[in-house]
Structure 1
């Protein structure tokens, strides 16, 4: 017997997410309202009690997988529910407010909109600044504290979170994506493995004529760091930023971007950020890079 069609498929990738996944799943029914929906969870080889928690649930389909990366997990979850006309991408350490998804879906129905991001708060209730500007040479240093658009990738101004507007990209913890937008882009780019996949997706969507829209009318909470950040994941984040910049601008400008990144990580390391020492090592020695990135064949990550 085939399953009835649904309006929204919520897709989640878990990795050692036992402390958070139940709260997320509990929040989904009220967040969906009257929308027909399905929830698909792909577990990327958790070593904690995540699967034990999921085994007690009857409100989601669970797919056990090896860890092929976050983007691969999302794509696998989407393939498991091909009839929904919108895709809700969720981090396992997020929760949704009541009625959030119909509000996001209404925003998604506007002409040319392919991705919708809600207003997100931290666990303490404070605003989580999830909106971002695109990568540029000036923004390589992570100088968001300046709040100058030329240098700040993260949008900090609280006034920008009080109105609906188009953005270049938003943190991918909670995103509603139009199925046709997703299909036309071929899903998330699995070569990133972890980090930058949502940046790449939104920027490619913009290239193809699909806008990313922020709406303050839909709310959610994101704990952040639910799976933790190690020296390895920090390195992956930095390498993927260079990889993304190279793919969008070419080798020559990316070489400058790479050199600036080396200087930025050296400064951070000297100031006491221990993870930056490992990242600096990986930047200058391709053989020291995480094998999962397949980025160890040249100084400038491809």
Structure 2
């Protein structure tokens, strides 16, 4: 008998070079929701990292494009197993998530991802496994900068004292107590799984039944603080948000753009969040702290714009986002 191996034919077994495919229909383990706006350089690395998750998991990818003017849509079109939704304008991050979720179909969980992320192998499986623990409603991963440094992505619930600490010290004095910073600096907090108040909205997995009960993301925020608001509503529902360090993702940061107006928008949305959840007393306390924070950094154009936006409604109306009436 000949010991020569038979020649392989495409009809005999699948080729090793055939890429893993995302499911466009049917129930899946995870439906990934991505919002793009001029992210042509980010799409392929993200998609490649998501394809590597396919095996034990079934995955669907839905991208809501906020009217990109670069080649984002053309790059996405090269992936025929991705569902692309054209929102018809730059509607903001929350609105994009809502549009994507409407067509995401049946899934055990939804994973909201920034387009400028790359997921490490096994990240999605680790997040889904954690979400199956009793009482867990949402899961956030460990985020790394491109050089491998941990991103301080975990946050405490906003409070005027924490805002004051951040206004005065910024990223300095990282050993200060948690009641003096919204950011979680403690290195040990990034080493083990535990419940958190909230985390940066770059990556968050939400159980599907919880997403249905919590409702849509609040489109009044356009960009920034929408994840703070959503995570607060998750906690108010009785579910917990868990940090899972065994799920790692690299975050390029800057996928939303690095424009001075976004710094101003971030400050304004902190006031909006305080008004929605805490009322006028919180705004009266927080507003002078944010004015102080931007005044101390007035050499930065973004904070100069923030100063104007915090004190002038006409300047607030010039920031990115939908035009609204009243104090917003």
Structures share fold, TM-score greater than 0.5: yes
| 1:111-139 deviations in Å (ceiling 9; x for gaps) | 21111011111101111111111100112
SS for the counterpart of 1:40 is strand
Q: Aligned-residue CA RMSD in angstroms?
A: 1.5
Q: Does 1:40 align with 2:62?
A: yes
Alpha carbons 1:120, 1:128 under 8 Å: kept: yes
Q: Does 1:145 align with 2:172?
A: yes
Q: Does 1:88 align with 2:111?
A: yes
Q: CA deviation at 1:4?
A: 2.0
Of residues 208, 211, 214, the one that matches 1:179 is: 208
Structure 2: 5+ residue runs without aligned partners? 1-23
**Where does 1:133-282 land on structure 2 (aligned, <5 Å)?**
133-141=156-164, 142=166, 143=169, 144-147=171-174, 148-269=177-298, 272-282=299-309
SS for the counterpart of 1:163 is coil
Question: Judging changes above 3 Å, is the alpha-carbon distance between structure 1 residues 166 and 282 closer, same or farther for their aligned structure 2 residues?
Answer: same
Q: CA deviation at 1:229?
A: 2.0
Q: CA deviation at 1:292?
A: 2.3
Q: CA deviation at 1:291?
A: 6.5
Structure 1: 5+ residue runs without aligned partners? none
Task: Give TM-score, length-normalised by structure 1.
Answer: 0.94
SS for the counterpart of 1:220 is strand
Partner of 2:76: 54
Task: Give TM-score, length-normalised by structure 2.
Answer: 0.86
The structure whose Rg is larger is 2
Q: CA deviation at 1:246?
A: 1.8
Q: CA deviation at 1:295?
A: 5.3
Question: Judging changes above 3 Å, is the alpha-carbon distance between structure 1 residues 291 and 58 closer, same or farther for their aligned structure 2 residues?
Answer: closer
How many residues were matched structurally? 296
